[in-house]
Amino acid sequence: MSTKILCVDDDANILEGYQRSLRKQFSIDIALGPDEGLAAIRKQGPYAVVVADMQMPVMNGIQFLMKAQEQSPDTVRVMLTGNADQKTAMDAVNQGHVFRFLTKPCSPEELASVLKTGLEQYRLITAERELLSKTLNGSIKMLTDILSILDPQSFGIGQRMREYIRLFAESLNLKQTWDLELAAMLSQVGFVTIPPTVLKKSRAEQGLSGEEKDMLARVPEIGAGLLNNIPRLESVARIIRFQNKNFDGSGFPNDKLAGEEIPIGSRILRVLGDLLLIESKDIPRFKALTKMRQCPGRYDPKVLEAIAAAFDVFLATKPADEPPTKEIVFKDLRVGQVLKANLMTKDGMLIVTAGTEVSQVVMEKLHNFADLSGIKEPIYVEG
Per domain, the residue ranges of the chain are 4-127, 151-321, 322-383
Kindly report whether the global pTM for this prediction surpasses the value 0.75.
Answer: no
Predicted confidence band of residue 317 (pLDDT cuts 50, 70, 90): very low
What does the chain come to in residues? 383
313 band by pLDDT with thresholds 50, 70 and 90: very low
Q: Has residue 234 got a pLDDT over 50?
A: yes
Give CA–CA dist 191/217, Å, rounded: 10
Mean pLDDT of 289-295: 91
Chosen CATH of 151-321 out of 3.40.50.800, 3.30.360.10, 3.30.365.10, 1.10.3210.10:
1.10.3210.10
Can you tell me the mean pLDDT for 203-229?
Answer: 89
Q: Does domain 322-383 have CATH number 3.90.105?
A: yes
Listed range (21-25, 31-35, 274-278, 318-322) with the worst mean pLDDT: 318-322
List C-alpha distances in Å: 373 to 48, 94, 363: 57, 65, 15
C-alpha to C-alpha distance for 255 and 244, rounded to whole angstroms: 12
Average pLDDT over the chain reads 85
Alpha-carbon separation of residue 161 from 64, 113, 123, 181, 241 (angstroms): 41, 52, 38, 8, 16
The tens digit of pLDDT for each residue in 105-142 reads 788 889 999 999 999 999 988 887 777 667 777 777 77
> Which listed CATH number (3.30.450.20, 3.40.50.300, 3.30.70.1400, 3.40.50.2300) goes with 4-127?
3.40.50.2300
How far is CA 81 from each of CA 102, 114, 200, rounded to the nearest angstrom?
A: 7, 15, 70
* pLDDT (0 to 100) of residue 112: 92
Asked if residue 5 lies in contact with residue 51, where contact means CB atoms within 8 angstroms, the answer is yes
Mean pLDDT of 336-364: 87
Contact yes or no for 63/34 (Cβ under 8 A) = yes
Nearest Cα to Cα of residue 152 among 359, 382, 373: 359
Least confident of 149-153, 158-162, 180-184, 365-369: 149-153
CA distance linking residue 48 with residue 317, whole number of Å: 44
Mean pLDDT highest for which of 67-81, 119-133, 144-158?
A: 67-81
CB-count exposure of residue 87 (10 Å: 0-12, 13-18, 19+) = exposed
Amino acid found at 149 = I
| Separation between Cα atoms, residue 324 and residue 337, nearest integer Å | 13
Between β-strands 100-103 and 76-81, what pairing exists: parallel, antiparallel or unpaired? parallel
Q: What are the residues facing 49 on neighbouring strands?
A: 5, 76
Average pLDDT over residues 41-62: 90
Task: Report whether pLDDT(143) > 90.
Answer: no
- Condensed to tens digits (0 to 9), the pLDDT of residues 176-213 reads 678 888 898 899 889 888 888 898 888 888 889 999 99
Question: For every residue of the chain, which 3-state class applies, written as one string?
Answer: CCCEEEEEECCHHHHHHHHHHHCCCCEEEEEECHHHHHHHHHHHCCCCEEEEECCCCCCCHHHHHHHHHHHCCCCEEEEEECCCCHHHHHHHHHCCCCCEEEECCCCHHHHHHHHHHHHHHHHHHHHHHHHHHHHHHHHHHHHHHHHHHHCHHHHHHHHHHHHHHHHHHHHCCCCCCHHHHHHHHCCCHHHHHCCHHHHHHHHCCCCCCHHHHHHHHCHHHHHHHHHCCCCCCHHHHHHHHCCCECCCCCECCCCCCCHHHCCHHHHHHHHHHHHHHHHCCCCCHHHHHHHHHCCCCCCCHHHHHHHHHHHHHCHHHCHHHCCCEEEECHHHCCCCCEECCCEEECCCCEEECCCCECCHHHHHHHHHHHHHCCECCCEEEEC
